[in-house]
Amino acid sequence: MNESEAYDAFTRGHELLRSRDFHQAAVALERARTLEPDKASVREALGRAYMGCRDFDRARDEFAAAVALGPTDGYAHFGLAKALERLGDRRLAERHFMLARCFQLGLG
């Protein structure tokens, strides 16, 4: 595994997210995920890219992976909640919105 290559792909993906080029961001971040599948930051960023692409199923999966890797990451819970909400699972979405609020406030 080449950490430098993963970092470069992650950095490029973030640049593309900032410029709102979600499809190309997803391509770069998928490469980073292949190289570093256990990095919550990569999974979270890829979830953001998929949300921008309106691919809510894949966004849900990436945010769920980020939550599994970092259970107290409020932003990962928020992203998962947004993806679940878009997929129509309001009950589970509300649970993750609540967790996101708790972790954001330092209550978790």
pLDDT in tens, 58-69: 999 999 999 999
pLDDT attached to residue 106? 64
pLDDT beyond 90 at 105? no
User: End-to-end distance of the chain based on CA atoms, in angstroms?
Assistant: 34
> pTM for the full model?
0.92
For 18, the domain range is: 3-104
Instruction: Tell me the pLDDT tens digit for each residue of 65-98.
Output: 999 999 999 999 999 999 999 999 999 999 999 9
Q: Which amino acid is at 19?
A: S
CA-nearest of 62, 69, 24 to 44 is 62
Kindly report the CATH number assigned to the domain that includes residue 88: 1.25.40.10
Distances (CA, A) of 27 to 44, 54, 71, 95: 14, 15, 26, 30
Evaluate whether 59 touches 79 at the Cβ level (below 8 Å).
yes
Burial class (CB in 10 A: 0-12, 13-18, 19+), 102: middle
pLDDT attached to residue 3? 79
Instruction: Tell me the pLDDT tens digit for each residue of 5-61.
Output: 999 999 999 999 999 999 999 999 999 999 999 999 999 999 999 999 999 999 999
φ and ψ at 97, to 5 degrees?
-60, -45
pLDDT attached to residue 2? 74
3-state secondary structure 96-107: HHHHHHHHHCCC
**What total number of domains does the chain contain?**
1
